[in-house]
Amino acid sequence: MMLKHTFVIPVYKESSYLETCIQNLLKQTAKSEIILSTSTPTTFSKELAKKYQLPYIINHQENKSIANDWNFAVTQANTLYVTIAHQDDIYDENYTKEFLIQLEKHPNTLIAFSDYSDIINGEVVKSSLNKFVKHCLLFPFRIISSYKNQFIKKLILSFGSPICCPTVTYNKETLGNFRFSESYLVALDWLAWLEIANKEGKFLYVNKDLVKHRIHQESETTAQLNNGKRLLEEQAILKQIWGDFLGNIISKFYVFGHKGNKI
């Protein structure tokens, strides 16, 4: 059977949640290719790949960055659609099925994304100030599931990024030679959506909670929030969009949305 979708897990060092993520992806009701890629190979991750008989591909490029890892991960997929599966997260067993149904209806999609919940310290958090703001920004997609218009695509991204990165499926054909920017360490996903919004094609929203995004003490999200790097990068993007004066004002309000994600 010719598969249309691939999950690539860009493994970073040793995550205690990696095996749970793999097991979860193997339970998908619609079959996908599953690949592990890494620039930080360990016996731990290699043995997990062997245990579940999954391809284990090492990125030998000297430049080590999240962007490089993600760009490399996408190139490993031979299918039309690819999801960068974050190693700490949980994907609903119907994720692939639901996405493929919608993508078949919208073949000129650039990226498709869904709703999600956070897992903070082991507890599923379905509502928070951060989620409320994101749902407000995504309001147009709750009326119509997809938009090709560049103005609308950029509008939802103008005050922040309501698109949860782990939920995103990429259409390799319509995205062409797109690559994540290595100039950002944390907000590279928001910058990516802004760049992709300029391309011909649709943003597609699957209005279902299909991913549980885990935030914990060792997560990159927590680390970059605590050291202030994420806020600095987000402020820089807001300044690009609104200019220095308005960008600074909006960023002061933007800070409050992260308070629920701090551990």
User: What whole-number distance in Å separates Cα of residue 33 and Cα of residue 221?
Assistant: 27
Q: What is the mean pLDDT of residues 122-150?
A: 87
pLDDT at residue 217, as a whole number: 62
The pLDDT of residue 212 is 95
Domains parsed from the chain with CATH numbers: 5-261 (3.90.550.10)
Please state, in angstroms and rounded to a whole number, the distance separating the CA atoms of residues 163 and 7: 18
Helix (H) or strand (E) holding 146: strand 146-147
- Please report, rounded to a whole number, the percentage of residues in the chain having pLDDT higher than 90: 69
Does residue 263 surpass a pLDDT of 80? Answer: no
Average pLDDT over residues 173-181: 95
Q: How much is the average pLDDT of 92-102?
A: 97
pLDDT attached to residue 254: 66
Collect all residues with Cβ–Cβ distance below 8 Å to 50 and sequence separation of at least 6. 56
Is the confidence at residue 154, as pLDDT, over 60? Answer: yes
Kindly give, in sequence order, each residue whose CB lies less than 8 Å from that of residue 93, ignoring residues fewer than 6 positions away.
Answer: 24, 27, 28, 29
Q: Yes or no: say if 260 and 217 are a contact pair by the CB < 8 Å rule.
A: no
Q: Tell me what the pLDDT averaged over the chain comes to.
A: 89
Residue 103 has pLDDT above 60, yes or no: yes
Give this prediction's pTM: 0.92
Q: What is the dihedral of CA 91, 96, 98, 102, to 10 degrees?
A: 130
The predicted model gives 139-166 an average pLDDT of 93
Q: How far apart are CA 80 and CA 69, in angstroms?
A: 19
What mean pLDDT comes out for the span 165-188?
94
What pLDDT is attached to residue 112? 98
Which pLDDT score is estimated for 216? 66
Question: Residue 199 class from Cβ within 10 Å (0-12 exposed, 13-18 middle, 19+ buried)?
Answer: middle
Residues 6+ positions from 164 with CB-CB distance below 8 Å: 113, 114, 115, 116, 134, 211, 213
Considering 13-17, 30-34, 211-215, the range whose residues carry the highest mean pLDDT is 30-34
CB 188 within 8 A of CB 214: no
pLDDT one-digit tens code per residue, 184-235: 888 999 999 999 999 999 999 999 999 999 986 665 555 555 455 778 888 8
pLDDT at 261: 52
As a whole number, mean pLDDT of residues 77-87 equals: 97
Q: Is 194 exposed, middle or buried (0-12, 13-18, 19+ CB in 10 A)?
A: middle
Residue 36 has pLDDT above 90, yes or no: yes
Rounded Cα distance, 192 and 195, in Å: 5
